[in-house]
Amino acid sequence: PGIILSSLCNCAKTANSSNIWFNICPIGVTKKVVPGEQPFFMDALNRITLHTFSANRLQNPFPGHLSSVYWPSILLCMYKIIFTLAFLILCCYAIAQKKQPLQAVTLGIEWQFITNHFQQGDQHAATIKLTNHDKKLSLPQTGWVIYFNAVHDIVKKDAGYGLEISRVYGDLFQIRPAAAFQGLHPQTSISLDYISGSRMVNYTEAPSGFYLVWDSSPATAHPISNLTILPPADIQKFKKNDRDQSGNITPAMVYEQNKSSIDIPGSTLPKVFPTPVSYKEAEGSFSLNALSTISADAVFEHEAAYLVSELTTVLGAVKVIRDDRRATIRLHYDQTQKAEAYTLTVSSAGITIAAADATGIFYGIQSLKCLFPLSAWKGTVAEIAIPLATITDAPRFTYRGLHIDVARNFQSKAQILRMLNWMAMYKLNKLHFHFSDDEGWRIEIPGLPELTTVGVKRGHTGDSKKELSPTYGSGGPVNLLQSSYYTREDYIAIVKFARGRHIEVIPEIETPGHARAAIKAMQARYNRLSGKGDSIEAVRYLLHDINDQSVYQSVQYYHDNVMCVGLPSVYAFVEKVTDELIAMHKEAGSPLTTIHMGGDEVPGGVWEKSPVCQTVLAHHPVYKNASELWLYYWGKVNDIAKARGLYVSGWEEMGMRPTELDNRKTMIVNPAFANADFHTYVWNNVIGFGSEDLPYRLANGGYKVILCPVSNLYFDLAYQQDFYEPGYYWGGFVDVDKPFYFIPFDYYKNTKVDRNGDPVDPSVFTGKDRLTAYGRQNIMGIQGHLWSENITSPQLLEYQAFPKILGLAERAWAADPEWATEKDKDRSASLYARAWNVFVNVLGKRELTKLAWYQGGARFRIPTVGAIVDKGVVFANIQLPGLQIRYTTDGSEPGNTSAIYSAPVTTKGIITFRAFDDKGRGGRSIKVENR
């Protein structure tokens, strides 16, 4: 500032002779320096440029008022004023620089698990190490908050050092300084200990999405990107209780599990998957090449085009002709076939697929693709030999579904199309599209723009008026990926693409609970229109009672996520969204038959202090209390659906009603909607929680049931208990065996472990309802689930989905296996072991090769190697024969050129094993020590 002041004074002294003028430009303005101009001063606030002018430019600018003789004095005064202002600006800037707060990028977070079973309870202890890497600035004693997301509740508020950890709402927590906090000085660290109210099993459950907010700028979030997740220092601390032998799965435990997997020669394995009703193979083959042709009856033109596309990928070119007699492949209409059934015949004269409908033809094409040699999946070939065979086939269940949650964490349209292609390959026919939940609404609805602005955007907010709060680690600044949605055109394209693969898209509107995104969006709409004075339109789609004083908390810790079922505007909203979805499906050429209306996890306490709901109760005395408005809601939703030719689908609670038993609130099967074509999706059979028989109770009670039990078909759950294995575990661990050994009509029989992975106690099923003959008629099918709380990328989606989906496909399509109905326990176990070996060999030697190459390759999970050390010799094995085991002995990570394991290893020291797929992609490595 002193130099600047001196320069200004010198300029002022010569003002009369050089005629100098000052111009102050705002921030961000860049002025090109030209002859006669001299850059004078620039800082982060202003750019001051000195301009020189000729004497004639300084003639009297105010004619008739001031004589030009006064101008030198006037200019001198102006210069003094200007350089005084410049000096003040510089001083302010210097002060601002001194007060500049610590940058969030210089903070580091290191999270480490300490122990499960803390203080002999079902809780864990962990630590958050906070480090200030800045060399000069401190994190001050007050004036800031650090926010983050966490799966588990934190039961210890005082974290030490005068800092407190507490929940804000949902999964959002805060670290806030209390009076005792002394600040965090440069290049120092503090470790905050906390206790969470449940067990932890892997890194997925660690806190995430840390960001800093200054009190002086409460609307601005600063990400803390330097985050490290560390495993426990002692892996034994992962033990869930005193009876637990090992808190973390070991290579030896994996080896023991894999011992039942026996290598079967690939030439003897079944060629068609899922298992068809009948497969008969003869000697010889029929060849297809680029000159091959296809003919199709008129009703199968779309399927012929699909087959052309698939064969062109393999052979380079094929074409459709009209002459059935000269065609290489014939798609033939056969009215004697059942729905979705087909017959595939490969003879020396050609290939014929016969079916009574296009769906059957399509599935025949999928089975034909199964007969391709594996080399054909890897790229274009000149010719492929198809074995001579006759296949007669039909699905076991009419509903063979996959649920994908895009509300919690978004997946792009392109990724959904990839998943649809794989679903088609394995003859799955229903995509349950979970596009709305507390954390996001993902489909554009014309006329309700707030759904895909406010209802989809996540960022730091104190009131959720313009965006939703950060969740599942999305962070403080608005997360662009997790603020994405499908336009109307996107959704129509998805439905149309699915229709072309004979997959029905079933959209889900989460109501009346799990509806926070929609509620906040419609509140924003209300605020916008109220501000314009349009009070009538403002309340048209309002989803909450403004005067409701009810107190409740959802399972996900929200207190504002349930629609007010007493409001007429709620039903107007349901009608509006339903009508728009109907229109989109119609435009896609795939008429809507049902909408999944949610109905999951509505907490106690809702509607109790809502004036609107109390008015409804007064006018409908058949409902005794607020909780019974649940029945009122579903009656009205059913009316909306029926008026549009739809049937109602929803979660299991839709078929339940509240009551009291032994002075305790409980839920029983509701007779009011039995036999009303309600389709209930039943997930809650958590082994040991008491509702193990819920699917069967609903089916026996007259409800249509889609089996999607968490115990076997929640694919987002972790494969096994390992710190580095992603996924939740609250319903148990789900590896590829769980969906495979699921017996739809009697899953008690093959339930082997409880949610903790411990052998199941048979007494769990004592007194539980079994499925009756009448109930069997109400089992529509089965569905696998990919919830996305912890699925934050397309890579992780595919990792969790494959190869688990193949077990689902087998159980949904193939007939009941012999081991499932065999009454002799030992014989059943023997039959199962044989079937399991065939299954894992088919996966490892055939299906994973297809998955590795089709559509560029699925990023499926490659299982970890099992290994034991016995008398100085290291033995290894793998769950899925056909995958290649490689190893190193020098401590390095095995690559796809490392030594292949073909015999036990005798080398001493650390042996590192890793499995690889047909494409050379490796799984996670394991280490054993051979002493």
Give me the pLDDT at residue 38, please. Answer: 33
Confidence (pTM): 0.89
- Which has the closest alpha carbon to 860: 811, 914, 798, 911? 798
pLDDT band at residue 600, thresholds of 50, 70 and 90?
A: very high
DSSP 8-state assignment for residue 650:
E
Q: Does 73 score more than 90 pLDDT? A: no
Q: Evaluate the omega torsion of the peptide bond into residue 739 and state whether it is cis, within 30 degrees of 0.
A: no
Mean pLDDT along residues 461-483: 91
The Cα–Cα gap between 65 and 62 comes to 6
Identify any residues that bridge with 501 across adjacent strands, giving them in sequence order. none
**514 vs 757, which has greater pLDDT?**
514
* pLDDT at residue 32, as a whole number: 34
Handedness of CA 71, 76, 81, 86 (dihedral sign): positive
What is residue 748's predicted lDDT score, i.e. its pLDDT? Answer: 94
What is the reported pLDDT for 735?
97
The mean per-residue pLDDT over the stretch 100-105 comes to 90
What is the phi/psi pair of residue 757, to 5°? 85, 5
Residue 96 pLDDT greater than 50, yes or no: no
Tell me what pLDDT residue 35 has: 35
Q: For residues 535 and 84, what is the distance between their CA atoms, to the nearest angstrom?
A: 54
Contact 190, 127 (CB under 8 A): no
* Cβ atoms of residues 467 and 478 within 8 Å: yes
**Strand residue runs (E) in 646-692:** 647-651, 656-661, 664-669, 679-682
- Phi-psi label, residue 885: left if phi above 0, alpha if psi -120 to 50, beta otherwise: beta
pLDDT tens track for 522-552: 999 999 999 999 999 999 999 999 999 999 9
pLDDT over 60 (residue 67)? no
Q: Chain-wide mean pLDDT for the chain? A: 89
Residue 19 binned pLDDT confidence (cut-offs 50, 70, 90): very low
Q: Give the total residue count for the chain.
A: 931
DSSP state of 883: B
Q: Check pLDDT > 60 for residue 93.
A: no
CA-based nearest residue to 104, from 25, 255, 220: 220
Check residue 85 and give its pLDDT.
64
| Main-chain dihedrals φ then ψ at residue 914, nearest 5 degrees | -155, 140
Our measurement of the distance from residue 881's CA atom to the centroid of its chain's CA atoms, rounded to an integer in Å, reads 30
Structure-token pair, residue 846: 């055939």
Token digits of residue 316: 């380079």
Model confidence at 104: pLDDT above 70: yes
Surface-to-core class of residue 289, CB atoms within 10 Å of its CB (0-12 exposed, 13-18 middle, 19+ buried): middle
Of the chain, the end-to-end C-alpha distance in Å amounts to 72
What are the C-alpha distances in Å from 428 to residues 744, 782, 806?
16, 10, 10
pLDDT category, 762, cuts 50, 70, 90?
confident
pLDDT for 91: 53
Look at residue 2 in the predicted model and tell me its pLDDT: 40
Q: Which helix (H) or strand (E) holds 498?
A: helix 488-499
- Quick one: pLDDT at residue 658? 79
Nearby residues of 532 by Cβ (< 8 Å), 6 or more positions away: none
Instruction: Report percent pLDDT > 70 for the chain.
Output: 89
Q: Are 797 and 859 in contact (CB under 8 A)?
A: no
pLDDT at 23 over 60: no
What is the per-residue pLDDT for 79? Answer: 60
Backbone angles phi, psi at 196, to 5 degrees: -110, 150
Average the pLDDT over 32-50 and give the result.
30
Residue 18 has pLDDT above 50, yes or no: no
Mean pLDDT of 600-617: 96
- pLDDT of amino acid 547: 97
pLDDT of residue 33: 30
Least Cα distance to 863 among 913, 796, 807, 795 occurs for 913
Mean pLDDT of 864-888: 97
**816-839 confidence digits (pLDDT tens):** 999 999 999 999 999 999 999 999
Confidence of residue 264 (pLDDT cuts 50, 70, 90): very high
Q: What are 609-665's pLDDT values in tens digits?
A: 999 999 999 999 999 999 999 999 999 999 999 999 999 999 999 999 878 878 777
Phi and psi at 353, nearest 5°, equal -115, 125
Q: For the ranges 377-386, 478-487, 783-792, 877-886, which has the lowest average pLDDT?
A: 478-487
Assign 171 a pLDDT band (cuts: 50, 70, 90): very high
Kindly provide the b/e burial profile for residues 197-236, where b requires at least 16 CB atoms within 10 angstroms of the residue's own CB.
Answer: eebbbbbbbbbbbbbbbbeeeeeebbbbeebebebbeeee
pLDDT at 325: 86
Question: Strand 208-214 relative to strand 172-177: parallel, antiparallel, unpaired?
Answer: unpaired
Instruction: Centre a 10 Å sphere on the Cβ of residue 364 and count the other Cβ atoms it contains.
Output: 26
